Chains A and B, each alone.
Chain A
Amino acid sequence: MNVQSANIKLADPLILLNAQSLSRFYGDQQVVNDVSFQLYKGEVLGFLGSNGAGKSTTMKMLSGNLAPTQGEITINGFDLLSEPKQAKAHIGYLPEQPPLYKELTVKEFLLFCARLNQISANQIKSAVEIAIERCGLNSVTTRLIANLSKGYQQRVGIAQAIIHTPAVVILDEPTAGLDPIQIREIRHLIRDIANEHSVILSTHILPEVQTLCDRVQIIHQGQLILSDSVAGLSQQIQTSSLLIELASPPTTHILSQIDGVTSLESLSNTLFRLHYSPDLDPIDELVRQATSQSWQLKQLTPEQHSLEDVFMKIIQEEQSN
Chain B
Amino acid sequence: MLTLARNELYRLFLSPLAWVVLALTQVILAYLFLSHIEYFIQIQAKIATIPNAPGVTELIAIPLLNNTATILLLITPLITMRLLAEERRNDSLPLLLSAPLSSSQIVFGKYLGTFAFFMIIVLLVSLMPLSLLVASQIDLGLLAAGLLGLGLLTATFTAIGLLCSSLTRQPTIAAMTTFASLFLLWIIDWANSSQLAEQSSGVFNWLSLSAHFNTLSQGVINTSDVAYYLIIIAVCLIITIRKLDSERLN
Contacts and interface: CB of A to CB of B under 8 A. Distances in A.
Contacts of A99: 90-95
A65 B14 contact: no
A117 interface: yes
A230 interface: no
Nearest to A60: B94
Q: Which of B92, B96, B249 has the most CB of A within 10 A?
A: B92
B14 A91 contact: no
Contact of A116 (B10, B11, B101, B249): B101
Nearest to B249: A67
B4 interface: yes
B51 interface: no
B50 interface: no
Interface in A29-88: 60, 63-67, 84-86, 88
B101 A112 contact: no
B35 interface: no
B101 A63 contact: no
Nearest to A62: B98
A101 B92 contact: yes
Interface residues of A, number: 29
Given A99-B93, A101-B92, A67 B98 contact: no
Contact of A84 (B11, B91, B102, B249): B102
Interface string A303-318: 0000000000000000
A116 B99 CA distance: 7
B97 A65 contact: yes
B92 A66 contact: no
B145 to A, nearest CB: 37
Given A103-B15, A104-B14, A117 B99 contact: yes
B7 interface: yes
Nearest to A91: B98
A217 B101 CA distance: 30
A97 interface: yes
A67 B245 CA distance: 9
Instruction: Determine the main DSSP class of A at the interface with B.
Output: loop
B200 interface: no
A63 B94 contact: yes
A68 to B, nearest CB: 10
B248 interface: yes
B11 A64 contact: no
A259 B104 CA distance: 71
Nearest to B91: A97
A115 B99 CA distance: 10
A160 B92 CA distance: 12
Contacts of A112: 3, 7
A113 interface: yes
A125 interface: no
A97 B4 CA distance: 21
Contacts of A86: 100
A118 B105 CA distance: 13
A267 B3 CA distance: 68
Contacts of A113: 95, 99
Given A65-B248, A104-B11, A93 B94 contact: yes
Given A63-B98, A85-B100, A88-B99, A101 B91 contact: no
A160 B15 contact: no
19 contacts: A64-B98, A64-B248, A65-B94, A67-B249, A84-B102, A85-B102, A88-B100, A88-B101, A89-B100, A93-B98, A99-B93, A101-B92, A116-B96, A116-B99, A116-B101, A117-B99, A117-B100, A118-B100, A160-B95
Interface of A: 60, 63-67, 84-86, 88-89, 91, 93, 95, 97, 99-104, 108, 112-113, 115-118, 160
